[in-house]
Structures are given as C-alpha cells and as structure tokens.
Amino acid sequence: MYRALRLWLELRRAIRRRWQADARALVQIDETEAYYAAQRLAARARADGLTGDFLHWTKVAAEVARVSSRANMNLASVQAIVDKEL
C-alpha cells in the first residue's frame, strides 16, 4: 500500500514538473504572450478531442498567470483564440 501511494505521488510530481517546465518555456519565449500561447494550445487540444493535452495546457496557462506579472490576460482575447481554434 505504501509503495503504491509513493508511486502515485511520484507520478503526480512528474506531471506537475512537466507543466511547470512548459510554462517557464513559454514565458522565456515571450512573456507578454505566454498566457495566450498556452490558451491557444489548450483550445487546439480541445478541438482535437485530446482531453489529457487540454488539461495539461490549461494548467500551463494557470502557471503562466501565477509566475508572470507581465503576461497579458484579457478574457475577450482568450475567447477570440478559442473561437478561432474551434
């Protein structure tokens, strides 16, 4: 039981490190547009029916919002991105 719990925690930590690394990569590329880039990737995954990728990129967008004070986050722009991808 302990081993199963430890393996599950390690898996969750690996998943978290992956979306944190993707968020940092997007911020390094273009900090002001990183949030929109993550939302665009999430919308594309949603349109393609890739639920796992959709959840990943929404977490990346949330992490970008958390770590970057310069990221643009306008709801109207996000809605336009989603409309374009769908």
Mean pLDDT in consecutive groups of 10 residues from the start of the chain, 86 residues:
93 96 96 94 94 96 92 84 80
Question: Are 23 and 37 spatial neighbours (Cβ–Cβ below 8 Å)?
Answer: no
Query: What letter would DSSP give residue 73?
Result: -
Max CA pair span of the chain: 48
Give rounded-to-5 percent helix, strand, coil for the chain. Answer: 85, 0, 15
**The pair of three-digit structure tokens given for residue 71, joined into one six-digit string:** 């990221």
- Residue 50 dihedral angles phi and psi, to the nearest 5°: -95, 85
How many Cα atoms occupy the beta-carbon half-sphere of 55 within 13 Å?
4
pTM: 0.86
